[in-house]
Structure 1
Amino acid sequence: METKREINLDSVLESLGPYGRYNLLNFVLLLFPVMLSAFYECGFIFEAQQQTYRCKVHGCEERFNDTSWVEYAIPLAEDGERDQCKVYVPLNATREFMCVPEDFSNKTRECDEFVYEEGQSFIKEFNLGCQEWKRALVGTIHNTGMFAAMLFTGAISDRYGRKVAIGIASCASFIFGISRAFAPNYLTFLAFHFLEAGFGGGLYPSAYVLAVELVGLKQRVLVSAMCNMTFVVGVVLIAVVAWFVDNWRTYILILYAPAIIVGAYVWFMNESSRWLLSKGRRDEAIRILKRAAKINKLDPRSLDLDALGDPLLKPQNQTMDKKSQFSKAIRSSIMWKRVSICSFLWLTCSLVYYGMSINSVMLSKNRYVSFMLVVLVEIPAYVVVVIVLDKYGRKKTLIANYVTCAVMSLLFAFLPRSDWYSIALYLVGKWSVTLAYSSVYIYVSEVFPTNMRQTLISVCSTSGRIGSLIAPLTPLLSQYHKSMPTVIFGGMCIISSTLVLMLPETRNMRLPDTIEEAEALSKMKNRADIL
């Protein structure tokens, strides 16, 4: 008896054509929120950027067109620049105060008022002079909100659909982002930062998942690279906007106003046919695929949609199988070791990646150009990673890039600073950690079994978010020693490169489906190494 042929969704998507009008239109509509997510994940770097200020010296500020008294009134800091937080104590002389050396003692005191540079900056408006921790706290609060977003973004996307998650995230970004632009005080500003990140932080992963689910297996790497590069373009645009807009409230309005565009059109987009099939909504999925075929000028009958099975339907004993696999994972020392090491690798990548991005504004006199260079170096990294992972393997790639990043960071920390080679060292370090970060995303998914993969990856990803929470605080360390942040980055990378040696190679290995198969990876040799 002839059995009915089941058509896999990936083969249907291949037949549909990955570069037809339907897909290209959807890519444009989805890459726009990907670019906006770069605004919302990294915009705080310039929103609460460092500000030049000094103590206000009463009796001297009124001397128009004459600031020669500054060298008598303001002491030098350790870096040779004028101290921002201290002033020489004026002498209580009976004669008239003339702002000359004789009017100041050699003792210093903390400032009670500040004079800020021109422009409407966040620090100036909320008078945060010499309260660097409050400025750094903005990034930590924002990333805490992003951490909270991870707890429910996936649940919304999986339960209610990809476009619903995108719509909620974009609308939340618009509402709380615009509200932050009108915050009357520092605490309200922080509250809106947390709410915006907490409810809008799922914009990138939701748009990314929907874009990847538009195509078949062969095009997923390319789509992933497109999303990564679009994100980089968005981060570069942040620096461009900040360069030309010196009012922090206007800067926020420019970044967050476009979110309403996504919130308006996403509801008219088609849902992911893969997600619909996973929910048993086969008829809706088929209608969408037929519509896509017509837009691509194909005959829907050529796709054999009537025979489309649901490749994501699970057997009835799935719940019991999950419980069994979870129980085995808990008892497995190999899995515990693997989860611990992968979590640390993810933590290192996140801390060093975001830390180097945030600290890059101090590389040279032009903070905007420095930031753009450090970001643009990521683009070739995303291209190279696809080549080296398959050619040299996961472990060699990770070790080489962790070691490279460590060496560059330590050289940058201890060599005398020079504009040209210091920036070159920093750029190579950032390029290396970007390669490592991309490799970790792929590698972690290959060392865990199918039934537990998403759960265990989420554990590792959560550890990574801890790194992004700490990263905004690393500039505070430079107050104790200017090289302390990069020394920490280098040390973390050295530890990670050593830990990679304890993990199995997964190049040319089939993805493990069970705990037993995942454990067996540690005992197997890569077939490519044998040949």
Structure 2
Amino acid sequence: MEEIKKEINLDSILESLGPYGRYNLLNYVLLLFPVLLSSFFECGFIFEAQEQSYVCDVNGCEQRFSDTSWQSYAIPYNEKLGKPESCLMYQPNNYTQFQCLPENFTNKTIECDSYVYEDNQSLVKEFNLGCQEWKRALVGTIHNCGMFVAMLFTGAVSDRFGRKVAVGFAAATSLIFGFSRAFSPNYLTYVALHFFEAGFGGGLYPSAYVFIVELVGLKQRVIVSAMCNMTFVIGVVLIALLAWCIDNWRTYILILYTPAVITVIYIWFMNESARWLLSKGKREKAISVLKKAAKINNLDPRKLELESLGDPLLKCENQTVDKKSQLYKAVRSSIIWRRLLICSFLWMTCSLVYYGLSINSVSLSKNRYLSFMLVTLVEIPAYIVVVIVLDKYGRKKTLVTTYITCALTSLLFAFLPRSDYWSIPLYLIGKWAVTLAYSSVYIYVSEVFPTNMRQTLISMCSMAGRIGSLVAPMTPLLSLYHKSMPTVIFAGMCLVSSMLVLMLPETRNMRLPDTIEEAEALSKRRTKN
């Protein structure tokens, strides 16, 4: 019972400090900035290695400059794609004086030796990736492989050394490897730096997210989570605007990664999470942090009854100290193990569908930047709605509804004839639904795991989710076999996830569990009810 008292005391103190006092507002700004940067680092590759138009470099024809009439008889036309072939040309006759005339070509097609690119400052041109589409698509996959590796140790760093150490480490490594990538001399160096940047800095968002969620009490968790998500959306829109204005891919990278210097400098002057300090038994430091917060908010620290965190915490320490590691205890628990597997699949579905719809959106209309921004901006209403529905209808009902909605819209988009009047609205509704689901999963996962293992277990779920984001950059290639294949896969994953949600406990209006025993009690409480 004393553990419950300790938990109530901590959350009541956070409520008394006020979620919108000067201390929290300052921390929101300082932690939302890394969230903004994480959107640059996670989604920047979409335009960094974007698709480029190119045709064969036909000797004697390209010298005609603005005249492109020669393409009608020198390069085959692809009726399916509605444009000239990129990798084939008609074989020229062996004339001594080649003048690029219709009679100089046969009906036989051959593969190109060299290419003429639409954008002279693109990554595709500089590394000569013409007709090697798999190499361009591999950039996103390699980046997400690095993100997968990051999840292996990000949680351990955060749970052992603290939230601000995890944020600072991720920001610093992203800056170093990302900035270096702008000077890559060749393709192999470029993708290697992509991997290392994501591998060491990929934990920036989850670390900042957990940090900001632990600043507030029960009632504000959904709101601050929505703040994080909307900040991420703003960052993604800024990426599209920047790519629209900047042609040179190296300059684009430099602009994206330079602001990380700011975070690397100020993060070390921030106070650590009081909840993390308490979970590690650092009672005096936690009380000191809370006292500083009270003073900044012009409150009397004595009225917060900070000393009440003492004895219950010490007893909690004695009860939870075990010879075996906390991770082993978590794995040994059938409840935590089942919860971890289900949450991992839910996260994987959200990652695959969210990033898949984002990446495929560039083909919705002729202007890839406007299409991308439109599909991204539709997320903002989702983050507003999630604040209302999660607390009103609960986590489970919200997740089931959004997964089914996304599945239905994806199937309709896949099998109904394409039309500008309803195809784009259907696509946007699907993106809106999966965004709402993704936001809900992030909140939900942080509520079903204990404080002393929260970042580690969240990272394990996120690591499984990275399997989805690994596959997402390759989904546009599936449309070459059948245009509806990507959205059908998205629909199937969403339907399975909607059924798995029913096996999890409801966490609405329940305080964050601080121990594995408290986390297990969520399911027992559901059974009792």
* TM-score normalised by structure 2 residue count: 0.89
Residue of structure 2 in register with 1:195 after alignment? 196
Residue 128 of structure 1 contacts residue 134 of structure 1 at CA under 8 Å; is this kept in 2? yes
Q: Does 1:90 align with 2:116?
A: no
Alignment of 1:57-456 (within 5 A): 57-77=58-78, 78-93=80-95, 96-309=97-310, 314-318=316-320, 320=322, 332=334, 339-444=340-445
Q: C-alpha displacement at 1:60, in angstroms?
A: 0.9
Moved more, 23-32 or 206-215: 206-215
Residue 9 of structure 1 contacts residue 311 of structure 1 at CA under 8 Å; is this kept in 2? no
Q: C-alpha displacement at 1:165, in angstroms?
A: 1.6
Percent of pairs with identical residues: 70
Structure 1 residues 295 and 392: alpha-carbon distance in aligned structure 2, compared to 1, 3 A threshold = closer
Structure 1 residues 312 and 434: alpha-carbon distance in aligned structure 2, compared to 1, 3 A threshold = farther
Inter-partner Cα distance in structure 2 for 1:400 and 1:303: 41
Residue of structure 1 in register with 2:29 after alignment? 28
Structure 1, gaps ≥5 residues long: none
RMSD of equivalent CA atoms: 3.0
Residue 155 of structure 2 contacts residue 456 of structure 2 at CA under 8 Å; is this kept in 1? no
Q: C-alpha displacement at 1:307, in angstroms?
A: 4.0
SS of the aligned residue for 1:62 comes to: helix
Inter-partner Cα distance in structure 2 for 1:265 and 1:323: 33
Q: C-alpha displacement at 1:163, in angstroms?
A: 1.6
Inter-partner Cα distance in structure 2 for 1:67 and 1:187: 34
Inter-partner Cα distance in structure 2 for 1:13 and 1:492: 38
Moved more, 369-378 or 202-211: 202-211
SS of the aligned residue for 2:131 comes to: coil
Output one character per residue of 1:258-316: Cα deviation in whole Å (capped at 9) or x when no partner: 00111111112222222233333333333333332222222333323344427665443
Moved more, 188-197 or 56-65: 56-65
Residue of structure 2 in register with 1:44 after alignment? 45
Inter-partner Cα distance in structure 2 for 1:287 and 1:514: 26
Structure 1 residues 370 and 274: alpha-carbon distance in aligned structure 2, compared to 1, 3 A threshold = same
Q: Does 1:481 align with 2:482?
A: yes
* TM-score normalised by structure 1 residue count: 0.88
SS of the aligned residue for 1:54 comes to: strand
Residue 229 of structure 1 contacts residue 379 of structure 1 at CA under 8 Å; is this kept in 2? yes
Output one character per residue of 1:217-264: Cα deviation in whole Å (capped at 9) or x when no partner: 222222111111111111111111111001000000000000011111
Output one character per residue of 1:330-385: Cα deviation in whole Å (capped at 9) or x when no partner: 695x8776654443332222111111111111111111111111111111112222
Structure 1 residues 303 and 448: alpha-carbon distance in aligned structure 2, compared to 1, 3 A threshold = closer
SS of the aligned residue for 1:8 comes to: helix
Inter-partner Cα distance in structure 1 for 2:57 and 2:311: 71
Inter-partner Cα distance in structure 2 for 1:229 and 1:88: 51
Q: Does 1:19 align with 2:20?
A: yes
Residue 449 of structure 1 contacts residue 517 of structure 1 at CA under 8 Å; is this kept in 2? no
Output one character per residue of 1:62-119: Cα deviation in whole Å (capped at 9) or x when no partner: 123321000111112222211111111112245x433232222222111110000134
Structure 2, gaps ≥5 residues long: none
Residue 325 of structure 1 contacts residue 451 of structure 1 at CA under 8 Å; is this kept in 2? no
Structure 1 residues 176 and 461: alpha-carbon distance in aligned structure 2, compared to 1, 3 A threshold = closer
Letter in 1 for 2:320: Q
- How many residues align? The count is 518
Inter-partner Cα distance in structure 1 for 2:340 and 2:15: 35
Residue 328 of structure 1 contacts residue 515 of structure 1 at CA under 8 Å; is this kept in 2? no
Inter-partner Cα distance in structure 1 for 2:411 and 2:159: 43
Moved more, 424-433 or 334-343: 334-343
Alignment of 1:484-503 (within 5 A): 484-500=485-501, 503=503
Residue 167 of structure 1 contacts residue 262 of structure 1 at CA under 8 Å; is this kept in 2? yes
Inter-partner Cα distance in structure 1 for 2:227 and 2:419: 35
Output one character per residue of 1:160-207: Cα deviation in whole Å (capped at 9) or x when no partner: 222222221111111111100001111111111111111111211222
Output one character per residue of 1:36-82: Cα deviation in whole Å (capped at 9) or x when no partner: 11101111111111111111111211123321000111112222211
Inter-partner Cα distance in structure 1 for 2:422 and 2:172: 44
Inter-partner Cα distance in structure 2 for 1:390 and 1:340: 25
Inter-partner Cα distance in structure 2 for 1:166 and 1:452: 17
Residue 122 of structure 1 contacts residue 248 of structure 1 at CA under 8 Å; is this kept in 2? yes
Inter-partner Cα distance in structure 2 for 1:522 and 1:304: 32
Structure 1 residues 379 and 462: alpha-carbon distance in aligned structure 2, compared to 1, 3 A threshold = same
Residue 347 of structure 2 contacts residue 464 of structure 2 at CA under 8 Å; is this kept in 1? yes
Residue 282 of structure 1 contacts residue 310 of structure 1 at CA under 8 Å; is this kept in 2? no
Inter-partner Cα distance in structure 2 for 1:254 and 1:235: 14
Residue 159 of structure 2 contacts residue 456 of structure 2 at CA under 8 Å; is this kept in 1? no
